[in-house]
Structure 1
Amino acid sequence: MSHSHDHPSNEDCADYLERIVYFLDNELDEADCSAVRLHLDACNPCLEKYDLQRTVKAVVARSCSEAAPQELRERVMFRIREVQVQISEG
């Protein structure tokens, strides 16, 4: 690595981990984006957390855009109605 500074403190990492969420959602201005990128380049634990959050976000986004098969939807709705009946009789 070409970085000459020491490893960031835990407080720094906590601050950056908070900002990573906004970074992933493209809600930071360019100066903050640059700061987050620099930190991720220098801090492997934060980079791993960033990669994990990015992966989870991609999986959730993909699963939200897929429709459940009709048979599954019917089974889920049937089970919800069963539970509602049990609650109202209980």
Structure 2
Amino acid sequence: MGAPDASAAARGTATGETETPSSPESGCISCEEMIAHLQAFLDHECEHSVAERLVRHVAECEHCAQIADAEQHLRAIIRSRCAEQAPPELRARVLGRLAVLRGTSGVASVSRTTSTIVSRDGSRVTVTRTSSMRIERD
């Protein structure tokens, strides 16, 4: 399920930025309120009545429609760029370690060793950090 399209109604009917008076009775919402509620709306965390008011406001306010479009576009970029998965080798190692820990009838002892080597070659500094973990069943 994707994010609500707060700006769909605005494409083609908006005439420019408007500041509508805010009152629940009138069903209007101000630009400030729209911006304050936009994140919750896109996360599907708004009350239905607030969501309806946001959609109406964005349909009438080009400025807020642009803000809503930009936020939806940014979220789409983040979703597409942050979809990396761990390499299969790492996944296998982690699952193997978990299996060892789960398979122990007693207590497992875990030791971790980290070493850091700093070397200089002229103006270049190289830092090498090595980490290892050892799991032993008692």
Q: TM-score, normalised by structure 2?
A: 0.42
> Which structure's residues are more often helix, by fraction?
1
Is it true that 1:48 corresponds to 2:93 in the alignment?
A: no
Q: Does 1:28 align with 2:46?
A: yes
Answer 1 or 2: which has greater strand percent. Answer: 2
User: For residue 36 of structure 2, what is the aligned residue in structure 1?
Assistant: 18
- The one-letter amino acid paired with 2:19 is P
- Percentage of matched positions with identical amino acids: 21
Matches within 5 A, 1:37-76: 37-67=55-85
Question: Rg bigger for which structure?
Answer: 2
Q: What is the Cα deviation at residue 29 of structure 1?
A: 1.4
With the length of structure 1 as denominator, give the TM-score of the two structures. Answer: 0.62
- Cα distance change on mapping 1:21 and 1:82 into 2, 3 Å: same
Unmatched 5+ stretches in structure 1: 2-6, 70-80, 85-90
Amino acid at match of 2:61: C
RMSD of aligned alpha carbons: 2.9
By relative contact order (CA 8 Å, sep 6+), the higher-ranking structure is 1
Which 4+ runs in 1 deviate beyond 3 A? 81-84
